[in-house]
Amino acid sequence: MYVTTDPSEAKQIDPLEMPTLCPGAMAASNPWVAGPDHQASCGFPGELVDNWQEKAIEKMGELLGKYRSLKVYLDSCVKCGACTDKCHYFLGTGDPKNMPVARQDLLRKVYRRYFTLAGKWFPSLVGAEDLTEEVLNDWYTYFHQCSQCRRCSVFCPYGIDTAEISMAGREILDHIGKGQKYCNEIIGKVHTIGNNLGLRPNALRSTLEGLEEDIEDDIGVPVKLPLDVKGADILLVTPSADFFAEPHIDGLIGYAKVFHAAGASWTISSFASEAANFGMFIGSYENMRQISLRIRQAALDLGVKRIVFGECGHAWRVAYSFLNTLAGPFDFLDPRYPVPQHICEYTWDLIEQGKLQFDKSKNDHIKLTFHDSCNVARATRMGDMPGGQFEIPRNILKTVCNHYFDMPADTIKEATFCCGGGGGLLTDELMDLRKKGSSPRMKALQTVQQEHGVTHMAAICAICKTQFSKVMPDYGFERDSILSVHQLVSNAIILEAPHDEE
């Protein structure tokens, strides 16, 4: 705000700029509905069931008994309005139903009507409503305009987490046969093939071998990407995007180089070749559990001692916060290490022990900032201290890069803005929503571009990276200005070339 690269272009960019209310602005934004096959693959009815109303209320009742969050949050909101301007989708669209409390109210009004005395006796007084087709459509529309980023929950005096509400909403929709295609198709693929992309073991093997060749051609060091190695120490579970697309793949190369430098014995599993767990997005404990159990199975089958997760936001949430619950206990692993660990924790440990050498100047063409992926920031931790999830990635970046600048304080760390594509919304038919939802983050990025000439942004989430490579060009950045954290590590790390006798 004080120094600008070109004063004539200087304009005040405010990432938190308040939109004017435009009721219905996003009413037409809907993801494709899942077809019968995709529904069936997750254990849901193929199409909207005849008695959907009854089934939906029944499911809601069941969830109210299973999730304290849902019960407490539906009962406790006082409509204070503190959350109303906290959601990036509201800031980006102005649609009042994207205000977190209004999104909750879509479920709350039905809850009140069917489950509370006040709503049964005085519906109009407390805003209770019958579950009509119109309400159902609103559920589908607006529970798919929440990336479950939890920014609202930071600012609510009772910690009301709209993500819990939209997960419950999607769970109900799935159970009456109105699931979302993008998520359910992907979950089906994980159940049958083992990863979101449907990449089969052979394809995965040749991809990894190809990468090994590329790395050796590039730096002359035989860095390995082992697959299904029994008895390896470390099982690496990483989002399948890391196996094929930029900038994800450069991150994977970075992990491989770190493992190589540490002399670690590690492996990827073709059975659990996916860190992502879309079961969370649809609020399905059962699907989330099944997917997590694949990782347990892989760890047992391969006989590893540790599990390390690659760069993925919601995957790290499921891993850090839920894996022990869903697929634990992990008493068969080495008790000296937390289960699971994040690749950033792993790398930072090595850096602190002085085991990695870097040539920082390799990243001198980059002026860098860091996007705190919301799931990592607000739903997990790294290291021993609260807030390690903010410090450790930054520490790594500052170790490998000379020019690092943070975005404005009210847009990072616990107040970070979602990329706009999280929570199962990273699908093309939602592109309009995704672009609008990314605007607070993009504006924050523009402020550091103006102040410090920032050229690139690093992230540790596969969804964020994909999303940013799509939306950054709209804000005057190159597609490849979004980087993996371990891509920067990869650029700067110094590996010993092998001795001649090899």
Partner 1 sequence: MLTTIYACLFYVATVVLVVGFANRIRQFAMTPAPLKIPTMPAPTTKTGVAFRLFREVAFFESLFKSNKWIWVFGWVFHMALAVVLIRHLRYFVHPVPEVLAFVQPFGVLAAFAMVAGLAGLWARRFVVERVRYISRPSDHLMLALLMGIGLSGMMMKFVAHTDIVAVKAFFLGLMRFSIQPIPADPILLVHLTLVAVLMIVFPFSKLVHSAGVFFSPTRNQVDNSREVRHLAPWAAKLEADRAR
Could you say whether residue 43 binds partner 1 (CB under 8 A)?
no
Residues 344-383 that bind partner 1 (CB under 8 A): 377-381
**How many residues bind to ligand SF4 according to rule CB under 6 A?**
39
3-class SS string, 271-326: CCCCCCCCCCCCCCHHHHHHHHHHHHHHHHHHCCCEEEECCCHHHHHHHHHHHHHH
Q: Which is nearer to ligand SF4, 351 or 425 (CB)?
A: 425
Residues 398-457 that bind ligand SF4 (CB under 6 A): 418-419, 421-423
Q: Tell me how far apart the alpha carbons of residues 295 and 315 are, in angstroms, rounded to a whole number.
A: 12
Q: Which is nearer to ligand SF4, 356 or 407 (CB)?
A: 407
Could you say whether residue 212 binds partner 1 (CB under 8 A)?
no
Q: Tell me how far apart the alpha carbons of residues 165 and 303 are, in angstroms, rounded to a whole number.
A: 39
Residues 192-231 that bind ligand SF4 (CB under 6 A): none
Could you say whether residue 159 binds partner 1 (CB under 8 A)?
yes
β-pairing, 306-309 with 456-459?
Answer: unpaired
Binding partner of 451, given ligand SF4, partner 1, none, CB within 5-8 angstroms per partner class = none
Q: Which is nearer to partner 1, 134 or 286 (CB)?
A: 286
Binding partner of 118, given partner 1, ligand SF4, none, CB within 5-8 angstroms per partner class = partner 1
Sole window of 152-160, 188-196, 215-223, 434-442 interacting with partner 1 (rule: CB under 8 A): 152-160
* Residue 36 φ/ψ, nearest 5 degrees: -55, -40
Q: Tell me how far apart the alpha carbons of residues 208 and 408 are, in angstroms, rounded to a whole number.
A: 39
Contacts of 208-214 spanning 24+ positions with Cβ under 8 A: 208/243, 208/268, 211/249, 211/252, 211/253, 211/256
Cα–Cα nearest to 159, from 68, 66, 71, 69: 69
Q: Which is nearer to partner 1, 96 or 424 (CB)?
A: 96
Q: Tell me how far apart the alpha carbons of residues 366 and 453 are, in angstroms, rounded to a whole number.
A: 10
At 474 the three-state DSSP class reads helix
Could you say whether residue 77 binds partner 1 (CB under 8 A)?
yes
Q: Tell me how far apart the alpha carbons of residues 491 and 219 are, in angstroms, rounded to a whole number.
A: 10
Sole window of 39-47, 323-331, 465-473, 493-501 interacting with partner 1 (rule: CB under 8 A): 323-331
Could you say whether residue 321 binds partner 1 (CB under 8 A)?
yes
Residues 299-338 that bind ligand SF4 (CB under 6 A): 313-314
For helices 162-175 and 133-143, angle between their N-to-C axes, nearest 10 degrees: 120
Chain centre to alpha carbon of residue 406: 20
Residue 477, both tokens: 């950045």
Could you say whether residue 66 binds partner 1 (CB under 8 A)?
yes
Could you say whether residue 461 binds ligand SF4 (CB under 6 A)?
yes
Cα–Cα nearest to 467, from 316, 313, 283: 313
Q: Which is nearer to ligand SF4, 100 or 194 (CB)?
A: 100
Q: Which is nearer to partner 1, 254 or 424 (CB)?
A: 424
Could you say whether residue 21 binds partner 1 (CB under 8 A)?
yes
Binding partner of 300, given ligand SF4, partner 1, none, CB within 5-8 angstroms per partner class = partner 1
Among 177, 194, 254, 340, binds partner 1 (CB under 8 A): 340
**Taking the complex as a whole, how short is the minimal distance between the CB of residue 83 and partner 1, in angstroms?**
7
Q: Which amino acid is at 252?
A: L
Residues 41-80 that bind ligand SF4 (CB under 6 A): 77-80
Q: Tell me how far apart the alpha carbons of residues 409 and 180 are, in angstroms, rounded to a whole number.
A: 35
**Taking the complex as a whole, how short is the minimal distance between the CB of residue 308 and ligand SF4, in angstroms?**
19
Whether the Cβ atoms of residue 255 and residue 163 lie closer than 8 Å to each other: no
Residue 384, both tokens: 């021993």
Q: Which is nearer to ligand SF4, 52 or 182 (CB)?
A: 182
x-marked contacts with ligand SF4 along 128-167 as a string, rule CB under 6 A: ------------------xxxxxxx---xxx-x-xx----
Could you say whether residue 39 binds ligand SF4 (CB under 6 A)?
no
Torsion of CA 25, 31, 35, 41, to 10 degrees: -140
Q: Which amino acid is at 488?
A: L
Among 44, 52, 89, 114, binds ligand SF4 (CB under 6 A): 89
3-class SS string, 160-210: CCHHHHHHHHHHHHHHCCCCEHHHHHHHHHHHHCCCCCCCCHHHHHHHHHH
**Taking the complex as a whole, how short is the minimal distance between the CB of residue 77 and partner 1, in angstroms?**
6
Could you say whether residue 378 binds ligand SF4 (CB under 6 A)?
no
Residues 6+ apart with CB under 8 A from 377: 389, 390, 413, 414, 416
Could you say whether residue 324 binds partner 1 (CB under 8 A)?
yes
**Taking the complex as a whole, how short is the minimal distance between the CB of residue 435 and ligand SF4, in angstroms?**
13
Q: Give the residues lining the site for ligand SF4 (CB under 6 A).
A: 77-83, 86-87, 89, 100-101, 103, 146-152, 156-158, 160, 162-163, 313-314, 373-375, 418-419, 421-423, 461, 463-464
